[in-house]
Amino acid sequence: MVAVLAAVMWAGCTTVPETGRTQFNLVSGKWERSMGRQAFNRIKAKQSFSENKEAAAMVQRVGRRIAAVAPLEGAQWEFALFNNSEANAFCLPGGKVGVYTGILRITQNEAGLATVLAHEVAHAAAHHSAERVSRMIAIQGAGIALVNSFGNLSGSSRTMLYAAWGIGTTVGSELPHSRRQELEADEIGLLYMARAGYDPEEAIRFWERFAAYNKSKGKNMPWFLRTHPLDVQRIERLKALLPYAKAEFRPHTPSLPPAVNEVVFIHPEDGRRITVPWKERLTLYGARRTAQIFRVGAEATVQRGGDDLPGAPTLRLRPGDVVRWK
Ligand SMILES: [Zn+2]
């Protein structure tokens, strides 16, 4: 029993990234990931994926950029776009993120979507669900914590634990985080989106559109909206944080396509282009033999970038080199 307890609980306190807040957290990353994975699999089995390929690709693109700047150890990032008219998004512990097509009307552009995804990713990076579960364990007693396999739980304990994880029986809603956690996710998310190369001012515009939507929905507003802090308060706070976020802005540089992994010979007799796959330690001598060109390498010129190098047989070739004879 003590061993199980030790496996589930590893430290009482952890520090939230960016804000530096000390939080009470009894849950290991491993347990978090396992909960998130299980719940996401259930959601994926119930919900239908969006067939809008462009929108789905956008969710992947933006999600990857945000995840790349979020420090979550052992993260198992996964982003899915579900076909659901509700204006909603959620993040499960460990990095499983779901977006409903209904929120795309409000995000409107990639920076708007980045605002939502960065907010959700921030919940995961800050272990907000684990914090809530830890509080529940502390309140309910350790009995529930002593079980790290759901098979061993009674039905009611299981329901309670699922509810604490925010996973509930009606899965796929934004987790019922506390207002403090919401504002914290806003703050961290604003930094993440800026670091991922999205203009943090877009966050203000998104939340303003969201507030307008919220208002138009009145009492019928979805759960996600009701559990979020008052829009006015959130927008004011984000405005105050903008200078910090702007200082964190890093322009996004798409990674270059991989260099062509071959060298090219221009045949001295007939001018044919012959390509030879590049490999480490490939010399002009070796490549010439592969290309079956029987001219002395020393008479060749190797074009590399803008330079012409003398064709020494021992010259190590690089990908993209072009070898020609006069
Ligand atoms: Zn939230």
- Domain at 301, CATH number: 3.10.20.90
Residue 252 inside a domain? The answer is no
In this predicted structure, what is the pLDDT of residue 49?
95
Instruction: Tell me the C-alpha distance between 141 and 102, whole Å.
Output: 39
Task: Please indicate, yes or no, whether residues 314 and 182 belong to a single structural domain of this protein.
Answer: no
Using CA atoms, how far residue 164 sits from 138, 159, 178, 264, in Å, is: 12, 9, 12, 62
Name the domain boundary from 184, 213, 247. Answer: 247
Maximum pairwise Cα distance, the chain: 85
For ligand 1, the distance from its centroid to the CA atom of residue 164, given in whole angstroms, is: 15
Kindly give the distance from the C-alpha atom of residue 180 to the centroid of ligand 1, in angstroms, as a whole number: 10
Q: Is there a single domain that holds both residue 57 and residue 150?
A: yes
Half-sphere exposure for 258 (CA within 13 Å, toward CB):
4
Query: Ligand 1 centroid to 127 CA: how many Å?
Result: 12
Q: Which of 219, 247, 275 is the last residue of a domain?
A: 247
Coil, helix or strand for 143?
coil
User: With contact defined as beta carbons under 8 Å apart, do 249 and 190 qualify?
Assistant: no
In a domain, 257, yes or no: no
Same domain for 172 and 288, yes or no, is no
267 C-alpha vs ligand 1 centroid, how far in Å?
Answer: 63
Give the pLDDT of residue 221.
53
Å from CA of 184 to ligand 1 middle: 9
Catalytic residue chosen out of the listed positions 18, 120, 131, 202:
120
Q: Which of 218, 247, 276 is the last residue of a domain?
A: 247
The Cα 130–Cα 152 span in angstroms is 20
Q: Is 184 a catalytic residue?
A: no
SS3 state at 147? coil
Q: Which two tokens stand for residue 27?
A: 């849950």
Q: Are residues 278 and 226 in the same domain?
A: no
Distance CA(278)–CA(236), nearest Å, equals 57
CA–CA separation, 104 vs 107, rounded Å?
Answer: 5
Distance from the alpha carbon of residue 177 to the mean position of ligand 1, in angstroms = 6
* Cα(275)–Cα(144) distance, integer angstroms: 65
pLDDT in tens, the chain (326 residues): 444 444 444 447 788 888 888 887 877 888 888 888 888 998 899 889 999 999 999 999 999 999 999 988 888 999 999 999 988 898 888 999 999 999 999 999 999 999 999 999 999 999 988 888 777 776 665 555 544 544 555 666 666 666 666 554 444 444 456 778 888 999 999 999 999 999 999 999 999 998 888 777 765 555 555 555 567 888 999 999 999 999 999 988 776 555 678 899 999 888 888 999 998 899 999 999 999 988 877 789 998 877 889 988 899 999 889 999 87
CA-CA distance, 45 to 5, in Å (whole number)?
A: 32
pLDDT at 155: 65
Instruction: Give the per-residue SS3 of 96-114.
Output: EEEEEHHHHHHHCCHHHHH
Task: Tell me, in angstroms, the distance from the centre of ligand 1 to residue 182's CA.
Answer: 5
Domain count, the chain: 2
Task: Report the sign of the C-alpha dihedral through residues 137, 141, 145, 147, in that order.
Answer: negative
- Domain carrying residue 189: 2-247
Q: Establish if 253 belongs to a structural domain.
A: no
Same domain, 174 and 295: no
Q: Which two tokens stand for residue 239?
A: 């405005």
Ligand 1 centroid to Cα of residue 138, in Å, is 23
What does the pLDDT read at residue 88?
Answer: 87
Q: Do 181 and 285 belong to one domain?
A: no
Instruction: Tokens for 49, please give them.
Output: 């994926």
Helix, strand, or coil here: 4?
helix
Determine the pLDDT at residue 4.
Answer: 43
Q: What is the pLDDT of residue 299?
A: 83
* C-alpha distances in Å from residue 65, one per residue of 23, 53, 61, 162: 27, 18, 6, 30
Distance 178 CA to ligand 1 centre (A): 9
- Claim to verify: residue 55 and residue 99 sit in the same structural domain: yes
Q: What is the pLDDT of residue 232?
A: 80
What residue spans of 28-154 are helical by DSSP H? 29-46, 53-67, 104-107, 110-125, 128-140
Select from 209, 18, 15, 12 the least CA-distant residue to 109.
Answer: 209
